[in-house]
Amino acid sequence: MPQVTLAVNGTSHTVEVEARTLLVEVLRETLRLTGTHVGCDTSQCGACVVHLDGDSVKSCTLLAVQAQGATITTIEGIAAADGTLHPMQEAFREYHALQCGFCTPGMVMSAIDLVEKHPQGLSEQEIREGLEGNICRCTGYHNIVKAIAAAAEVMQGRAGTLASAAE
């Protein structure tokens, strides 16, 4: 069986995998990082989104061997070492941008990538279009969009805190 070496959340892992093993399977089953969810098995829902070399990808569509040598960040790896939440996580909490929480990890990971790729800022329409690959069956997206807009203000240095972003 092939060996794959991945840097996941700052830690290097070398694992043996079958050639057909999906990255999401390695993350969840081998590395026990279960924050990355499998929702649809068809790349439709976005619950499995992680960052691979800085870009958001659906880990259910990528073979683990394709990620050889990559740097991967999962939802477990975005908070600070002291447990301080990432601004996007904090915004999702503050703006009640989740209900059942199943889509939340993938939604947060997609939102971080979206904000980082648009340093000039994002309109509500751009946020909604940027989330087209993520499905939430509970919230109606309104609070998700508000949370992303507020987190973007903090992440891009236009607001010091989520409270000041809301003003």
Query: Tokens for 5?
Result: 């070496």
Tell me what pLDDT residue 148 has.
96
Last residue of a domain, one of 22, 50, 77: 77
Report pLDDT digits (tens) over 131-165.
998 888 888 889 999 999 999 999 988 777 776 66
pLDDT above 70: percentage of residues in the chain: 97
Q: 97 and 60: one domain?
A: no
Number of domains within the chain:
2
Q: 45 and 109: one domain?
A: no
Q: Which domain covers residue 26, as residue numbers?
A: 3-77
Last residue of a domain, one of 53, 77, 101: 77
Report pLDDT digits (tens) over 75-110.
999 999 999 999 999 999 999 998 888 889 999 999
Secondary structure of 52-117 in the HEC alphabet? Answer: ECCEEEECCCCEHHHHCCCEEECHHHCCCCCCCCCHHHHHHHHCCCCCCCCCHHHHHHHHHHHHHC
Place of tokens 């794959």: 4
Q: 53 and 117: one domain?
A: no
In a domain, 8, yes or no: yes
Query: Tokens for 158?
Result: 């236009």
